[in-house]
Chain A
Amino acid sequence: DAMVIQNPRYQVTQFGKPVTLSCSQTLNHNVMYWYQQKSSQAPKLLFHYYDKDFNNEADTPDNFQSRRPNTSFCFLDIRSPGLGDAAMYLCATSRARDRAYEQYFGPGTRLTVT
């Protein structure tokens, strides 16, 4: 089945220790998104890519960076995680920019910062 895959599902890192979360998709969708979701809150968009065109949200901290080396893969790098970065990180895709209303989400990576 075509899908969005995130690895790892659970990640524990230490305060200040860089961490990378990965996402892959077999849907061949042009657009990929990274969201941060804290407990009982809405998903908050961090970045999105239309193909290789990178779009950073204005309020995304500089501590967060992203890479999309090809259509299938996307990475979220947190350079120096703080306690406030503990959250669920969701990767999503959509077929095209004008189909953003229908996004396909991966299962998420739950990040714990100790």
Chain B
Amino acid sequence: GQSLEQPSEVTAVEGAIVQINCTYQTSGFYGLSWYQQHDGGAPTFLSYNALDGLEETGRFSSFLSRSDSYGYLLLQELQMKDSASYFCAGETDSWGKLQFGAGTQVVVTP
């Protein structure tokens, strides 16, 4: 089967750095996306990695290692507004579909 595994919850204080890991096992793989979803809201796109390496977008960075079937999202200088669920999503075929992980709840404390 196809699966993307990520931790269920991470807690950190404001100003800290959090890394959310995602390991995947899929029959096809084209790239890894990350989405943020606040409670009661819609998922919003954060970043995408098609190739190995680090992509930086402001305070957020995303990394991919295809050889290790592994990626992570790095949240720096945490702010209270970063409290949300974060989903990794694998692009698993060329038809344009995403397979979502179960999500990681990030709790930022003062």
Contact = CB atoms under 8 A, between A and B. Distances in A.
A40 B96 CA distance: 24
A111 interface: no
A55 B95 contact: yes
6 contacts: A48-B97, A90-B43, A97-B94, A101-B31, A105-B42, A106-B42
- Interface centre among B31, B87, B97, by most chain A C-beta atoms within 10 angstroms, is B97
A24 interface: no
Given A41-B103, A94-B96, A98-B94, 12 more contacts: A41-B102, A43-B43, A45-B99, A50-B96, A90-B42, A97-B94, A97-B96, A98-B96, A101-B31, A101-B98, A102-B45, A105-B44
Contacts of B101: 42
Interface of A: 31, 40-45, 48, 50, 55, 90, 92, 94, 96-108
Contacts of B31: 101
Interface of B: 30-31, 33, 41-45, 48, 50, 87, 89, 91, 94-103
Contacts of B41: 107
Contacts of B30: 101
A104 B101 CA distance: 18
A107 B33 contact: no
A100 B100 contact: no
B42 A42 contact: no
A100 B43 CA distance: 14
A100 B109 CA distance: 34
Contact of A107 (B42, B87, B94, B103): B42
B100 A104 contact: no
A45 B2 CA distance: 14
Nearest to A57: B97
B8 to A, nearest CB: 9
A96 B48 CA distance: 15
Nearest to B42: A105
A8 to B, nearest CB: 15
Contacts of A31: 96
